[in-house]
Structure 1
Amino acid sequence: MKHLLFTSLSLIPTFLLANTTLDDSFKNLEDKYHGKLGIYTLNTDDKTNISYNENYHFPICSVFKFLLVGAVLEYDMQDKGFLDKKILITQDDIGTLGYAPVTGKNIGKTLTISQLNYAAILSDNPAANILVREIGGLEKLNKLVAKLGDKDTIIKNDEPKINHTKPDSNINKTTPKAITQDIYNLAFGNILDKKHREIFIGYLQKNNTGANRIAYSMPKNWIIGDKTGTCGEYAATNDVAIIWPQNKPPFALSILYTNPSDVKAPSNEKIIQQASKLTANNLLNNGYK
């Protein structure tokens, strides 16, 4: 029996054995921090694609804003000059929406749609809601999601209600697989033209909210553009990124985390960092530099 077992294992590709060990490591993180962890990579090298709980529905939080920005860019493809449209920022826009690092400093002034796009990538809540209004509502956003072939991401609310999810509902949630495919296809697919893909990538690469998430554990010579999300409930902590290694084509990675059993559980960047480290080590061991 031992000989047969050895023979059987020898027939399994080494990357599958490595992924089994990687799954165990991800499970150990779940046990350590409690809750649910989801990881998915999308690249052109199938052997190094990583997935863990890839079809589990996690609260989307502010990650939805990169989809919103994608919808705005698509809108600009039809309505030329839309990105240059100036919007007066009012106190009513700010309201009680909380995080407003850009719009909060520009009350009584104008910002262009493009500036609001970048603000939304920085997770500015009023900027996101203004963009939803300017493109005609969440219906336009969900149409883009459908065009992307994403059947798992359902957006029913903007800020702040999008952050309030229920464990037994898939509303305002996404899966690691779906959201990774979405950001990859917006950056490199044919939904946006080349000009608008480059604008989208530029927003992501200039984002500064993810330094303590995926980027924290990636090689410092890799270029990273991302969109973070934090709900404030059920420990929901997310990061979705496009990553440019030195010797490989860019790939997409999502790491999502939640604790569906405790609505008051705080966000947790450490589990994102540690899952990112495991992912990076796996890629480095498979020839990434």
Structure 2
Amino acid sequence: MSDYSTADVTAWMLTAFAVNKRNGAELQLDCPECGHPSCYFNVKKQVGYCHSASCRETWPLDKLIDKVGYSPDHIGFTVTPVIDTVVSRPVALPKAAKPIERLDTAVDALAYRGVTWDHIQKFRIHQDDTRLYVPVYEGGVLVQYNSRRVRKENPPEDWFKAGEKPYRYASGHPITHYLLGFEECRLWGDIVLVENSFVSMWLRDIHATATFGSHLSDTVINKIVHSRINHVTFLWDQGTEYASQKAQRKLKELGVQSKVIHIKGQPDDYTKEELKELL
């Protein structure tokens, strides 16, 4: 722990970051790494943690100082922004990833998630020895991918019992900038937002798409505003009430109607008929 007092750290955090909520020694903010709103920093312990399933980044004070560029000794000091001249590398699937074929066991495993052979072809799902890959395209260009670790040594119905940190994305390109299959859903009048790629495929017939977690970035909100979408339904997992309500407020400010459906567990804990009744 540093020599900074709790008061110094608190004042610095409130200056350096847009704190969403305060609860005693806990400050809630958007994660500096992934942008997820469920990042909590304890000013007494001087350490923070992102609760996003796809991030789980730990933020000790010195790491946050490196991220911001100045310490609590320099509150009020403005860092001159450095223009990033590095050109992002094009996204490519790992070389070992191959398209799933009709007779592959992966077809059976995905069927247990409600993903059909038509979905596999439509979303161009790939696989290697340990992962399934869902490419994310915009304008016909691969801009990201969502990979899910699976246990191929298990029976197909148990492939998805993968333990900690099952998801992985292409580095350098925030997954929160995209919705799965946006080229199609941008033409819909309404969309249903879920967190998981495979759940969104299962519910595609009710206009579901995936946000890859419980965060709706300003980039995605801008895409929604400039599309034909005029109504958004949040069907995120249990425990995301604050994040969904925060996103709902942003959409409302920009004239997009929305509603939040609170559920216990996850959408795939329900039948499709039960979800349709909730919608």
Relative to the length of structure 1, the TM-score reads: 0.33
Structure richer in helix, relative to its length = 1
Relative to the length of structure 2, the TM-score reads: 0.33
Q: Does 1 or 2 have the higher relative contact order (CA < 8 Å, sep 6+)?
A: 1
